[in-house]
Amino acid sequence: MNKVLEKFVESLLKMSSAVTGITVLLIIIFLFKEGLGLFKSSTVEKGYTLVVNTQNPVNRLTSVEIKEIFDSEIENWKDVGGSNDDIRIFRFDEIFTMYSDEELGDGYSLLPQKLGEIIQSDSTIIAFLPLKYVPKNMSGIKELKTDIISISDFFLGTTWLPTATPSALFGILPLIVGTLLVSFIAIIIAIPFGVGVAIYLSEIASEKVRKVMKPAIELLAGIPSVVYGFFGLVVVAPIVQKVGGLTLGETAFTGSLILAIMALPTIITISEDALRNTPKAMRDASYALGANRWQTIYKVVIPYASSGISAAIILGIGRAIGETMAVLMVTGNAAVMPHSLFESVRTIPATIAAELGEAPGGGTHYQSLFLLGCVLFLITLIISIISEKISGRKIIKE
């Protein structure tokens, strides 16, 4: 009977492991499948196109050029390889101010013809039109060729405007820089405090103090991130603003302070466990050779526990990089390239959380957010692999 039960439990555990593994694999496949579709999409909004007069020598525009034209930053065709003429921008809604509903026909049947006539009459015009209303087989007009979103545009672009019309920009470099900047400054702040507290709890504090402090520190890990974000917004941000003489307290530095607090429980707990696992015989041997308590700590205990401490730091980095709500609330949420710690930034997790609910399913904005998830997955995967290598280093040596 016991053997049957053992076999049943073993089969159940194998099944659970298989289901878990398959589920994780399917999630990863779905994530990359949705995200990688972005690199097959045009820079122009889906269902729309750009149309010009055939006399216009320009045949192709980049996404940046399209944005600058429609933002009136480029006002002459010669700036994009055309003739020396001012650019006239025509948006689809303008047709309804030029013609009455009767002139456009029943069900707007004459709308394509009217649009074609407008484009034919002006060689300097650029029209942003829905594909279904673009005049077919009509002389004097042509559709501009636009680029497909490339890997370099996505990873090296410095402008994140996924909802811009008519051409969105999906440069995630500001998001990557913002994420890494906030996370690593947080870790730089958290490391000395975290390791210092771990050394105190492991080597100096009495057992009574340790029994009180250790659970209290671990309790910090259970506080919801939105509470940390609210604390940062109400308490930390005004202090940073006042001390730094800033116009805004929601900065990368504010986010780093909050993430440092959130990473402390991970660093303290794992580091303290690693320090306490140092064999008592090594401490006794150090004292027997004449070393005092501090010499024993930094020459014997810390070197022995270095792999555990390193793993704690890397896991703390992972905790900081993956944080969403707190940084969304205290970093200013500005998707721009930061030039200092006291400017607003936006991180990858905050971008996904803020925009996914508003992104149309299957569109380029939707795909770009899934691709951001892929980037975040790869970053955390790399951190996890490094952590495993460091954690296993001492085991391999033994």
Taking only the tens place, the pLDDT of each residue in 316-366 is 888 788 888 888 889 988 888 988 889 999 999 999 988 888 888 888 899
Longest dimension (CA), the chain: 102
Position 231 confidence tier, pLDDT thresholds 50, 70, 90: very high
What integer is the mean pLDDT of 84-101? Answer: 90
* Integer Cα distance of 397 and 203 in angstroms: 25
E runs forming strands in the chain? 48-53, 60-61, 88-91, 125-130, 141-143, 145-146, 160-161, 169-170
CB-CB contact of 231 with 324 (8 Å): no
Position 392 confidence tier, pLDDT thresholds 50, 70, 90: low
pTM of the predicted model, to two decimals? 0.84
Position 259 confidence tier, pLDDT thresholds 50, 70, 90: very high
Determine what percent of the chain is predicted with pLDDT higher than 70: 97
Position 106, amino acid: D
398 pLDDT above the threshold of 50? no
What integer is the mean pLDDT of 18-36? Answer: 88
Q: What is the pLDDT of residue 20?
A: 87
Contacts of 37 by beta carbon, 8 Å cutoff, 6+ apart: 367
Determine what percent of the chain is predicted with pLDDT higher than 90: 26
22 pLDDT above the threshold of 60? yes
What integer is the mean pLDDT of 363-374? Answer: 91
Secondary structure of residue 26 in the 3-state scheme? helix
CATH numbers and ranges of domains, the chain: 48-147 (3.40.190.10), 173-397 (1.10.3720.10)
Q: What is the pLDDT of residue 241?
A: 92
396 pLDDT above the threshold of 50? no
397 pLDDT above the threshold of 50? no
Highest mean pLDDT among 288-292, 349-353, 383-387: 349-353
pLDDT, tens only, 68-80: 999 889 999 999 9
Tell me whether strands 160-161 and 169-170 are parallel, antiparallel or unpaired: antiparallel
Q: How far is CA 254 from CA 24, 190, 264, 347, in A?
A: 34, 14, 16, 13
1 pLDDT above the threshold of 70? no
Position 206 confidence tier, pLDDT thresholds 50, 70, 90: confident
Secondary structure of residue 76 in the 3-state scheme? strand
* Integer Cα distance of 282 and 88 in angstroms: 80
Q: What is the pLDDT of residue 197?
A: 92
103 pLDDT above the threshold of 90? no
Position 255 confidence tier, pLDDT thresholds 50, 70, 90: very high
23 pLDDT above the threshold of 60? yes
What integer is the mean pLDDT of 7-32? Answer: 87
Encoded tokens for 254: 């504010």
pLDDT, tens only, 160-177: 988 888 888 899 999 999
393 pLDDT above the threshold of 70? no
395 pLDDT above the threshold of 50? no
**In terms of pLDDT, which residue wins out, 91 or 289?**
91
